């Protein structure tokens, strides 16, 4: 799969680990930065990944900041994005099963790399349950009506 990935400085280390593991697993990784631990603004990187997914250049994206909160808030401003902040196996599974999340958000300062990789694997391998489609359509309607 072609996967967009991005982070701020707080998520840089975990992003590097996850990008490497994804590549080792045969995925095509589109790394949209950041490229170091120098302080940057997470909305910029969240937007890059979100647009890559919303404009269908990548079916899925992964975002990492210190907590995962900032990138999830920012990514969800882009129409078509369902970004889910997950922190355990259950939320990773349900983000796919119930929400068909197309962007996974992780806390680089909160999760051990092994745990983050496990959550990423669960999210990528769990199918969406179509009985939840009506709720996703309601979210799309909300986007279309705007504010
Ligand atoms: C940056 O210090 C930090 O605020 C950011 O990584 C993230 O945790 C925001 O939600």
Domain limits, the chain = 2-146
Pairing mode, if any, of strands 28-31 and 60-65? unpaired
Q: Which of these CATH numbers, 3.10.129.10, 3.40.720.10, 3.40.1400.10, 3.90.1150.10, describes 2-146?
A: 3.40.1400.10
Kindly report, residue by residue over 18-60, the tens digit of the pLDDT: 999 999 999 999 999 999 999 999 999 999 999 999 999 999 9
pTM above 0.95, yes or no: yes
- Kindly report the protein residue whose alpha carbon is nearest to atom 9 of ligand 1: 70
Q: Any catalytic annotation for residue 65? A: yes
10 C-beta closer than 6 A to ligand 1 = yes
């Amino acid at each position: 799969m072609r996967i967009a990935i991005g982070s701020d400085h707080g998520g840089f280390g975990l992003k590097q680990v996850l990008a490497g593991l994804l590549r080792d697993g045969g995925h095509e990784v589109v790394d949209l930065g950041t490229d170091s631990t120098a302080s940057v603004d997470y909305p910029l990187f969240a937007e890059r990944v979100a647009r890559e997914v919303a404009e269908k250049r990548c079916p899925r994206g992964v975002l990492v900041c210190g907590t995962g909160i900032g990138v999830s808030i920012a990514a969800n401003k882009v129409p078509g994005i369902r970004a889910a902040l997950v922190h355990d196996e259950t939320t990773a599974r349900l983000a796919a099963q119930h929400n068909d999340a197309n962007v996974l958000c992780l806390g680089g300062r909160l999760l051990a790399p092994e745990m983050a990789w496990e959550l990423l694997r669960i999210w990528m391998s769990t199918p969406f349950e179509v009985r939840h489609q009506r709720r996703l359509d309601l979210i799309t309607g909300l986007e279309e009506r705007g504010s």
